[in-house]
Amino acid sequence: MNKKIDQLAADNIRALAISMVEKANSGHPGGAMGGADFMHILYTEYVDFDPTEMDWKFRDRFFMDAGHLSALMYSQYYLLGNYKKEDLQNFRQWGSVTPGHPEVDVLRGIENTSGPLGQGHAMGVGAAIAAKFLEARFKGLFNHKIYGFITDGGVQEEISQGAGRIAGHLGLNNFIMFYDSNDVQLSSMTDEVTSEDTAMKYEAWGWNVITIDGHDHEQIRKALNEAHAESDKPTLIIGKTIMGKGCVTATGAMYEGECELHGKPIGDTKADYVKTLINLNANPENPFAIFEEVETHYAKILAIKAEKSAYKKIQITSWRKENPELSEKMDLFLSGKLPELDLSSVIQKPNAATRDASSAVLAYLAENVENMIVSSADLSNSDKTDGFLKKSSVLQKNDFSGAFLQAGVAELTMTSIANGIALHGGVIPVVATFFVFSDYMKPAIRLAAIQELPVKYVWTHDSFRVGEDGPTHQPIEQEAQIRLMEKIKNHSGNQSLLALRPADAIETSVAWDMALKNTKTPTGLILSRQNIKDIPAQGTSRYEEATEATKGGYLVKSTQNPDITLIANGSEVATLLEAAVILEKSKNLKINVASIISEGLFKEQSKSYQESIIPKGKLVFGLTAGLPVNLEGLIGDSGKVIGLDHFGYSAPASVLDEKFGFTSEHACAAILKYIEENK
């Protein structure tokens, strides 16, 4: 421990952070200056990682909540050798590896994409849950720590309540979060916004709370030591810090703790950029330099980190020799691959609701996939994730042998936690709620799509057929909103999310198979509350025919040279099949019916395949229980879609079907009218 070096290193981080923002003429310097002391002590003395293998599975993790403090992270990781000087100089520029808010880049130390406040906090909780889950199965190997960093805005975001409650309830003593409490927000001082006692709030949730001077290195060490020794609770370290620590004016007078230092370059405030660099012992002629003494110190630190991780690797190797079967299982978990599964063997009840069909699959997965955590927002007996729960048990404080997380009524928190589980690795997260409440989940779904995380969403009660619960619980626009994500490419150039609305129980089994095999993006399963008539097999195996859903769409009823093609997904497919049978008998029409489980996936197929399902220039009629836009991208110039343009009403599902025109008889009338109009 060298007080001079520690102070110099923290000031070096400050100088680098303000220089990045100054050169980019964009960013957030003040908070980075305030958090520099904690970051330096944390990374040099506490965080365990292997500098030669930054993605080492047994490393500690650091989850940043306050993504606007990216300059703090990049500066710290520059000292650790993860970034080059040129990277910092290109902060927030096109093509740089130092974007305005940090984006997952594990090899450089960035564990999560952050920006929307509060979600980084919850992702850290998710990673801590994943580590506890794995530690319960591989004792002594996943006892690493998950560190978090949050600011006033993140604490205020509503999601922090859910994350704080769950972390405390589960006793996540492996989660240690630093709260950079500087009393300054982007547009105001904190006391203009809140008067709550944050420490008491977290204590009420069951956290160990320590309040310190966030610039006192001895207090930081003492708090981290206490957090490491805590065996029963997560720890919140409230560090009282100063916004813009070290800033001075042109006259050399201190200018700290001011609101304007939060979100713009130092040179655009009453502080002076050059004089502040000098005050921080930096050279204004070379502001992106690592101080010589700091560079020497960090070289020693990195050697210590490498030596410590090498020792743990020897221990892991020894464990593997003593536990060959567990070792093989652990490798399978960490690979992200699945064991051999046969979802065609899952027995589905006739004419089942697709939520019940999903339940049957989940029961099978509970017995065959050992590294899956399923979570429900207080709806397991309605979204039918209890199919999994009945074969497993609930995760509890001091007992992570189970695999079901009762999240409570906290859809956004639950979904962000799932992102953290996926980011940690080794565990497959599944989350469930009613489809209408996907609205609450959307910010975390978006981050899952951006981070390319294979989270599985189970959304049940997928249409107005929820019935008596009325318009607040009947999804009308939700499918359109989710399918927009199918139209957005992620940075790998892939469809950012896969949305699947299966037409019957067997297709639900296939949809689950598709979801499990999709390891590159999140997948949503959109499932019915009400029973759906089974799609009859055209040949000998309905399951084999349903595997054509892997192309996004296929014919469930096929004939040569059809007069018209009917398209739908979900329960409307069965309605159109009934209508087709009626019209073929009564009007001597030749009709094809297609189940388009995913428009995005269907449009990734060859043009010839798409046109073999939906012929170009021919009559196409679509039926959807949501907005017509759900199918309008598939029908061509002369096609027609019947959907809803209004919210639902409270009444039994069968009554709503009749009132809204979603019976086979109504469909027949609409189809005949469409044909007549296009003669």
| Residues involved in catalysis | 411
Give CA–CA dist 634/624, Å, rounded. Answer: 12
Q: Are strands 372-376 and 235-240 parallel, antiparallel or unpaired?
A: unpaired
Give CA–CA dist 63/238, Å, rounded. Answer: 16
Question: What one-character DSSP code corresponds to residue 607?
Answer: H
**Sign of the dihedral through C-alpha 559, 564, 568, 572:** negative
Question: What one-character DSSP code corresponds to residue 270?
Answer: S
Query: Exposed, middle or buried by CB within 10 Å (0-12, 13-18, 19+), for 55?
Result: exposed
Spell out the residues 6+ positions from residue 303 whose beta carbon is closer than 8 angstroms to its own.
none
DSSP-based three-state secondary structure for 512: helix
Locus of tokens 């927002």: 377
Report the DSSP beta bridge partners of residue 565: 592, 620
Give CA–CA dist 59/144, Å, rounded. Answer: 7
Give CA–CA dist 343/345, Å, rounded. Answer: 5
Q: Give the number of other CB atoms < 10 A from CB of residue 589.
A: 17
Cβ–Cβ < 8 Å for 177, 121: yes
Spell out the residues 6+ positions from residue 415 whose beta carbon is closer than 8 angstroms to its own.
431, 441, 444, 445, 448, 455, 457
- Quote the tokens at residue 75: 């500066």
Give how far Cα 418 sits from Cα of 56, 123, 485, 523, 601, Å: 21, 7, 18, 13, 24
What residue type is 353 in one-letter code? A
Which of 602, 336, 362, 374 has the alpha carbon at shortest distance from 454?
336
Give CA–CA dist 47/561, Å, rounded. Answer: 67
Which of 569, 573, 570 has the alpha carbon at shortest distance from 536?
573
Cβ–Cβ < 8 Å for 660, 653: no
Spell out the residues 6+ positions from residue 235 whose beta carbon is closer than 8 angstroms to its own.
173, 175, 176, 177, 207, 208, 209, 210, 223, 226, 227
Cβ–Cβ < 8 Å for 179, 238: yes
What torsion, rounded to 10 degrees, do the Cα atoms 379, 383, 387, 392 define?
A: -40
Give every strand in the sheet of 208-213, ordered side by side.
61-64, 146-151, 175-181, 235-240, 208-213
Locus of tokens 């003492």: 222
DSSP letters for 337-390: ------GGGS---TT--HHHHHHHHHHHHHHH-TTEEEEESS-TTTTSTHHHHT
Q: Give the number of other CB atoms < 10 A from CB of residue 195.
A: 7
Cβ–Cβ < 8 Å for 643, 630: yes
